[in-house]
Amino acid sequence: MNKMSKLINKNKFLSVMHFVKNSFYTIFLYVFYTTNAIAQPSTNASNPGSLQNPLGTQSLSDFFDGIIGVAIQLGVVVSGLSIMYGGFLYVTAMGDEEKITKAYKTMTWSLVGTAVLLGAHVIMLAIRGTIEQLN
């Protein structure tokens, strides 16, 4: 490899690492700064030393709904990033058949993962509706 191609490869690597770093920062900020779970002092006047429910849910079903909601939000973000990564691989393939195949596989499995994620949510809603009808 000549000096120019080494420099180009180094710049590609640095741009990919910059993209990955910014993606992780975005996910970190999204996860940790959009949650509303903050410990609060008790407002129960009859028992001032008691603790409030920090989860804000009244049932186990509500708790799992919250967990699944967060998982879906994270999954959609990761899915979007992986589809963008597949597009990045396709653009940087420059006609190399191996790299193009890898890019297609990345995008295909990203879409499959998104479908599984959304399908799991639909199945969860169907099971919850069935349980509510039985009660």
- Greater confidence, 39 or 113? 113
pLDDT in tens, 18-40: 777 777 777 777 666 665 545 45
Average pLDDT for residues 95-107, to the nearest whole number?
Answer: 92
Yes or no: say if 83 and 25 are a contact pair by the CB < 8 Å rule: no
Q: Residue 46: how many CB atoms within 10 A of its CB?
A: 5
pLDDT-above-90 percentage for the chain: 26
Q: For the chain, what is the radius of gyration of the CA atoms?
A: 23
pLDDT score of 81: 92
pTM: 0.56
